[in-house]
Amino acid sequence: MLEIPIHRQGGTPLYFQVAEHLRRLVSSGALPPGTRLPGTRMLSEELDVSMTTVMQAYAILESDGIIRLEGRRGAFVIGSCTERGTRPSAEAVLDLASGLPSMDLVPLKSITRALRDILRTFPEAALLGSPPEGLEPLRRALVSHAAARGIPASWESLFVTAGLQEGLSTLLKTLAVSGMRRLWVEPLTYPDAVLMASSEKIEVSCLPENPAEIPGFVSGMNRQDALYLIPSFHNPLGRTLPLGLRRAILAETVRTGTWVIEDDAYGELRYGEESVPALKSLPEAERVLYMGSFSQVLFPGLRFGYMLLPPSLAEEAGLIRKIRTGGASSLVQMLVLNLIETGDLSRALDAARRQMAIRMETLAGAISRELPQAPFQRPEGGIYLWLETPGIEGKEAVSRAAARGVRLSPGEEFSVSGRRVEAVRLSISRHGSQDLAGAVCAMALAWGYR
């Protein structure tokens, strides 16, 4: 009999409790390599849980490379990093630097079906140009989609963009023309935002490192200032600003007339228990310029995003888009509209959330076991995790990991000042759980933490 403590009143899923206890038994050596685990029916009866719960637990352990399932023969322990080698995958490189999705996240069948229907039914409209602000049916559908996240908006205020990056470029140019002179960013942030602001001759300055100090900092700003924030599932930090802090920041922006650019690139990928609303959904959001997207994790190559602008900026933004890029692809817009109307987009996002939740659980668990010296905070959504590397600069940590076949992003890449950073950014979008666990094993060996 295999005894596993189960806390039925807590918030942790039963299958995860079973998987984590078995993982600890394997890691401690109590269940050595080669041990045959109880069958799913037997263990479910012993623990008084469903067979599905045990099957989910075994699936997690198999994907992490801890056990192997051999059909009717049962489940057998493989072991920890030490017993199974540096990584289980035969792939040449494990890419934890890229934000691109693995193909199992891409709703390929839905996209193929939608494109076939569009080109058969509306070939001319799909292949002709679009107005700078986007196709009206899609703008109306996107406003309804945003309403599901509590964001109130009219369809006239919505601009369709060829990706969030193009939207940010247009928005920064619009603000510069409208009199904005300084963009305030966090010390660690999305580096392209800094590059785009500099290209528009906008001065870039840093906010305090402690987010709790931002409201006091904003109190000294004026209408020539703007904030660039990634409040949900930050890139690169993975963290989410709490609701109280969000409201405090927005209250100061209303008082000082400061614009806030809300980059919500991964806001659709929440899988934590607590839901924190977008800045744009809050009552104090009159100075918030919202940028949203769901293409990054589903179909990044199609370059799709949208932004919500007030009338005071909308006309200028339309003129800038007309001169610079014109409208986004009509075919891509009609594809997104089709995916929204058929429900395929909602189903694809739900599937992506489930996958990201499992991958992040796996990555966080592997780091806790194999890299206990490396502090991190587990994100509640998105695809990025910020991992500190005490005693090793980010660039050096990346170099050592690359020698073991793992690609990471150095912390210095996100530093506005260019200062040295003892940390790396990890992405879970490109690989499944087994490869993520293997990558952590390789990192532990590369950094000498084992």
**Distance between CA atoms of 311 and 83, rounded to whole angstroms?**
62
Residue 227 CB neighbour total at 10 angstroms = 27
| pLDDT score recorded for residue 387 | 98
Using DSSP's 3-state secondary structure scheme, residue 109 falls into helix
- What's the mean pLDDT in 306-330? 92
- What's the mean pLDDT in 61-81? 79
DSSP sequence for 383-411: SEEEEE-TTS-HHHHHHHHHHTTEE-EEG
Q: Reply yes or no on whether the pLDDT at 79 is more than 70.
A: no
**Distance between CA atoms of 187 and 212, rounded to whole angstroms?**
14
Cβ(418)–Cβ(62) under 8 Å?
no
Higher-pLDDT residue of 66 and 107 is 107
| pLDDT score recorded for residue 77 | 85
Instruction: Determine the distance from the C-alpha atom of residue 104 to the mean position of all C-alpha atoms in its chain, rounded to a whole number.
Output: 16
Is the dihedral angle over the CA atoms 85, 87, 88, 91 positive or is it negative? Answer: negative
Higher-pLDDT residue of 6 and 247 is 247
Q: Which helix (H) or strand (E) element contains residue 260?
A: strand 259-264
Cβ(318)–Cβ(324) under 8 Å?
no
| pLDDT score recorded for residue 90 | 46
Cβ(212)–Cβ(182) under 8 Å?
no
| pLDDT score recorded for residue 88 | 43
Per-residue pLDDT tens over the stretch 355-405: 998 889 889 988 988 899 999 999 999 999 999 999 999 999 999 999 999
Which tokens belong to 242? Answer: 């709490």
What type of residue is 100?
L
- Pairing mode, strands 67-69 and 288-292: unpaired
- What's the mean pLDDT in 29-46? 84
Higher-pLDDT residue of 23 and 187 is 187
Q: Reply yes or no on whether the pLDDT at 423 is more than 70.
A: yes
**Of 312, 318, 317, 306, the residue nearest 280 (C-alpha):** 306
Per-residue pLDDT tens over the stretch 90-135: 456 899 999 999 999 999 999 999 999 999 999 999 999 899 999 9
Sorted by sequence, the CB contacts under 8 Å of residue 60 that are 6+ apart come out as 15, 16, 19, 358, 361, 362, 433
**What letter would DSSP give residue 153?**
-
Q: What percent of the chain has pLDDT over 90?
A: 73
Determine the length of the chain. 450
DSSP sequence for 8-68: TTSSS-HHHHHHHHHHHHHHHTSS-TTPEEPPHHHHHHHHT--HHHHHHHHHHHHHTTSEE
Q: Which helix (H) or strand (E) element contains residue 198?
A: helix 191-199
Write down all domains in the chain, each with its CATH number in brackets.
14-79 (1.10.10.10), 94-99+351-447 (3.90.1150.10), 108-342 (3.40.640.10)
- Using CB atoms within 10 A of its CB, is residue 34 exposed (0-12), middle (13-18) or buried (19+)? exposed
Long-range contact pairs involving 213-219 (C-beta distance under 8 Å, separation at least 24): 214/245, 214/249, 215/245, 215/248, 215/249, 215/251, 215/252, 217/184, 218/249, 218/252, 218/253, 218/256, 218/258, 219/252, 219/255, 219/256
**Distance between CA atoms of 55 and 232, rounded to whole angstroms?**
33
- Pairing mode, strands 423-427 and 384-388: antiparallel
Say what the alpha-carbon torsion angle 331, 333, 336, 337 is, to the nearest 10 degrees.
Answer: -110
Q: Reply yes or no on whether the pLDDT at 20 is more than 60.
A: yes
What type of residue is 225?
D
**How does residue 89 score in pLDDT terms, banded at 50, 70 and 90?**
very low
Sorted by sequence, the CB contacts under 8 Å of residue 28 that are 6+ apart come out as none
DSSP sequence for 320-387: HHHHHT-SPPHHHHHHHHHHHHHSHHHHHHHHHHHHHHHHHHHHHHHHHHH-TTS-B---SBSSEEEE
Higher-pLDDT residue of 388 and 45 is 388
